[in-house]
A and B are shown apart, each in its own frame.
Chain A
Amino acid sequence: MFEKMIHHRPPWLVTPPSTKPIAISSRIRLARNMSDLPFPGRCTNEQRSEVILRVTKAVKKTALLKKAEVLKLDSLSPIDRQFLVERHLVSPEFVQQDAPAAVIISNDETCSLMINEEDHIRMQVLRSELNLEEAWEMLNKFDSELEKSLPYAFSSKYGYLTACPTNVGTGLRASAMLHLPALVHEHKIGSVMSAVGKIGIAVRGLYGESSDSKGNMFQISNQVTLGQNEENIVNQLHQIVLRIIEHENKLREALIANKPHQIKNDVGRAYGTLKYAEILTSEEATELLSSLLIGVDLQVFDEVDRTIVNELLIDIQPAHLQKMKGKNLTAEQRDLYRAKLIRTRL
């Protein structure tokens, strides 16, 4: 499975060359639990194995994941685990545990389901660009199929019961990954964060729970899961993302009108470094590739194809590099190999 994944791009990353999306991808995830067992944090290993058994059996009856591969966590090497995190298929918390857990991934990586993360089930659908409603439709259908054979923990008052009260109710987290270089460049990202924060929307860095914001990539997601229905949550986030995109676009236009030389200079320097550097850390490469994306999107730089930049953003991550190379690499070796990979592709 990993062999195939290394050589194929997940569909959520592939966008038509004509579009220049600020929204890179959209994701919906649902949290569900069995009604008759403790939440994973309080399960015995036997109970956790029982959950894996029940869920995998139920999943085999669904249209979406019946042919999907089940990966038991204890069968995965540290690099495999990191690879799945880099691919946005599992959470960093999921792979850090020792107890029985598993992940089921659809062949095209659109849908994945973690068994025994913080909740018994964490399932997600990933789509490219801003397609939250489509992702919700797909996941909703899948969830309805699953519930036919799994007794979910549910209360008529609190809805779907979850280990953390911050997920209770719908158990739904909708998020969009946005590339917001102009908002960062113009020091406006902080005010966006605090404005949307007031209405229950969080802005974070690339990866779920951390505040990392590599390469001007941000994840925008709902915080409220109870008291609003799923469609409202998804729609509200969609509307907010549209506003942020509008804001980013206006700033981009202003940038190109007012500071064309500075933008061209930044993009050109980024290209120069990427093209000729011998050593590149993950952080530096991500930042420089983000600059290239701006150049391509603002049409001031046409030396590279956007798809190549998008692919590189995924491929230059540590576990991806080691999977491609087929062996473990030290940090120094990775920096060398990363620079070589970028030089070749550009």
Chain B
Amino acid sequence: MICSFCNKNEATIHFTEIINSKMEETHMCEECALKKGIETSLPFSFGDILSAITKGIENINQFENEDFLENPECLSCGLTIKDFIKQGRLGCPECYEAFADALKDIIKNVQKSPNHTGKSPKIFPRPKDAKRRIAELEKKLNDAVIEERYEDCVAFRDEIKHLKQPAESDQNV
């Protein structure tokens, strides 16, 4: 749906107003909404996702070269950051690793906390996968300690702990 104000951009904000007991719908793009000073009632919009990721890219760009946007980011499916910004959808499960830095910001913006606390598949993680992941995380944790990235240290440590849990409880059985 196209923004009914500029007739140019995709409308990402949809809201209903009540004027003289009549409901009126408005569809507008983030840009026009900002111009009009409208605050969306939703906790986030698609625009938030984009601005978060763009912010992530700005930070990353300080260290990366300029063709960063064009480079395939995800080795598994070939999705680039540019594709992701355009479509707002990830390409495959591995994208969560490939875009970890950008996703950290997005998830912080749109979700309650960055850690899953709900259901998990009974057969997850398969022992082989868990062992490999733990080894990988221990290396990352080591690097993070050396580089004094304490926030990352906590995240890696928590994940290792979580992965080790089922294995330990299996041994107890």
Chain A residue with Cβ nearest B106: A165
Secondary structure of the B side of the interface? loop
Partner of A161, one of B96, B120, B162, B163: B96
- Which residues of chain A come closer than 8 Å to B76, judged between CB atoms? 38
Q: Whole-angstrom distance from the CB of B96 to the nearest CB of chain A?
A: 6
Closest 7 CB pairs of A and B: A159-B116, A227-B113, A227-B112, A211-B14, A153-B93, A197-B41, A226-B111
Q: Which of B106-165 contact A (CB under 8 A)?
A: 106-107, 110-125, 133, 155, 159, 162-163
Tell me whether A190 and B90 are in contact (CB under 8 A): no
Size of the chain A interface, CB-CB below 8 angstroms: 58
**9-residue interface stretch from B2-10, B15-23, B58-66:** B15-23
Which of B41, B49, B89, B93 contacts A41 (CB under 8 A)? B89
Contact of B116 among A118, A169, A193 (CB under 8 A): A169
B89 touches A163 (CB 8 A): yes
Q: A39-B92, A165-B90, A213-B16 are in contact. Are A159 and B120 (CB under 8 A)?
A: yes
Q: Is the CB of A190 within 8 A of B18?
A: yes
Among B27, B49, B116, point to the contact of A165 (Cβ < 8 A): B49
26 A-B pairs with CB atoms under 8 Å apart are: A35-B93, A38-B76, A42-B77, A148-B123, A154-B125, A155-B93, A156-B120, A156-B125, A156-B133, A157-B115, A157-B159, A163-B89, A165-B110, A166-B49, A170-B119, A187-B21, A189-B16, A193-B15, A193-B16, A194-B41, A199-B43, A205-B16, A224-B111, A227-B112, A229-B119, A230-B118
A187 / chain B contacts, CB cutoff of 8 Å: 18, 21
Asked if A260 is an interface residue, CB under 8 A from chain B, the answer is: no
Of the candidates B14, B118, B159, the one having the most CB atoms from chain A within 10 angstroms of its own CB is B118
Number of interface residues, chain B, beta carbon within 8 A:
50
Q: Is the CB of B93 within 8 A of A140?
A: no
State in angstroms the CA–CA spacing of A172 and B117 once bound together: 13
B residues contacting A by CB (< 8 A) are: 14-18, 21, 23, 25, 27, 40-44, 49, 76-77, 79, 87-93, 96, 103, 106-107, 110-125, 133, 155, 159, 162-163
Q: Are A223 and B42 in contact (CB under 8 A)?
A: yes
A: residues with CB less than 8 A from B are 33, 35, 37-39, 41-42, 118, 140, 143-144, 147-148, 151-161, 163-166, 168-170, 172, 184-185, 187, 189-190, 193-194, 197-200, 202-203, 205, 210-213, 223-230
Closest chain B residue to A204 by CB distance? Answer: B14
Closest B residue to A212 using CB positions: B25
Closest to A172 in B: B118
| Closest chain B CB from A204 CB (angstroms) | 8
B23 touching A184 by the CB < 8 A rule? Answer: yes
Set of chain B residues within 8 Å of A227, measured between Cβ atoms:
111-117
Shortest C-beta distance, B71 to chain A (Å), equals 17
**Pairwise interchain contact B42-A197, C-beta atoms closer than 8 A:** yes
Write the nearest CB–CB distance from A55 to chain B, whole angstroms. 15
The answer to whether A154 and B120 touch (CB under 8 A), given A200-B112, A223-B44, is yes
Which of A160, A166, A197 touches B110 (beta carbons < 8 Å)? A166
Provide the bound-state CA to CA distance between A322 and B27, in Å: 30
Check if A210 sits within 8 Å of B14, measured CB to CB.
yes
Check B113–A39 contact: CB distance below 8 A. Answer: no
Q: Is B90 a contact of A189 with CB atoms below 8 Å?
A: no
